[in-house]
Amino acid sequence: MMNTIWSDRRRPKAPAAAAPESAAARDAIASARVWLMQASRIAVLTGAGVSAESGVPTFRDAQSGWWAQFDPAELATEEAFRGDPERVWGWYAFRRQLTRDAEPNAAHLALAAFEARYPGRLTLITQNVDGLHQRAGSAGALALHGNLVEDRWLDPARSCCNKAVPDQGQPPRCPICGNARRPAVVWFGEMLPERTLAAAQRAAGSCDVMLVVGTSGLVYPAAGLAIAASSAEARVVIVNPEPTELDDVAQLLLRGTAGQLLPALLNF
């Protein structure tokens, strides 16, 4: 079994592009603010980019993303875990520590403050497993892809599976049947939590405005929520320093970072 020491060997992240200061950019931000002020229901779909300014790596950014260094098929599938549990468990243990050391940034805090100011007006849907929205105060965030700090049984628990014995570097196992604990996240090919996804679909289908923040829009069914919102006549606003797969469904593209733009959009 390969004994991997996880370290951060990715190249340093290039500085994010500053929010454009042009008159057109200012007008676009002003338009988005008006839409948000007028909206009774706002849905926000976030991805890894919203945590980038907290120092948590994204998946697909060309130099700094996890998939620039590792093959997702070897780390983010059940097959990978069964094939090399020590390697996958080690990667998650490394990421758990990394996110424990991270703090919510201005984007997480702006969303949480808005929810506190206008209870029930904003539904936060996140693909992130890092818990930073929740730590910022967004307790009701709909976490589509699970939670990095929790784990669960790999196979349906049997009557003997009530104790997991830790094992150096390996996932803890039931001492009787060998069932293993695995991270409580959603890997490729796995179903999303049914009720959470249904609540997200309801929010997407009934919102007046959807903000799509810090996601490449490549992963389904999460990306389909922006398409559903657009089909239901919501205004879709994308906040991202780079182009995304969802740009075609957006009415406004705000090219800047989440930490710069969300406080400016939501401070009313």
Q: Are 217 and 223 in contact (CB under 8 A)?
A: yes
73: contact with ligand BJW by CB under 6 A: no
- Rounded least distance, CB 145 to ligand BJW, Å: 4
Cβ-proximal residues to 153 (8 Å cutoff; 6+ apart), any chain: 161, 174, 179, 180, 181, 182
Nearer to ligand BJW, 61 or 115 (CB): 61
Task: Pick from 4, 6, 10, 16 the residue near ligand BJW by CB under 6 A.
Answer: 16
- The owner of tokens 């969802």 is 246
Q: Per rule CB under 6 A, is residue 69 in the interface with ligand BJW?
A: no
Q: Are 249 and 236 in contact (CB under 8 A)?
A: yes
Point out which span in 2-10, 32-40, 44-52, 131-139 binds ligand BJW (CB under 6 A). 44-52
Q: How many helices (H) and strands (E) does the chain have?
A: 8, 10
Q: How many angstroms separate the Cα of 2 from the Cα of each of 50, 87, 96, 191, 247?
A: 33, 7, 20, 29, 41
Give the nearer residue to ligand BJW in terms of CB position, either 59 or 114. 59
Q: Is 145 a catalytic residue?
A: yes
58 lies in the binding site for ligand BJW (CB under 6 A): yes
- Annotated catalytic residues are 145
Residues that bind ligand BJW in the complex, under the rule CB under 6 A? 16, 47-49, 52-53, 58-61, 65, 76, 127, 129, 145, 185-191, 214-216, 218-221, 240-242, 244, 257-258
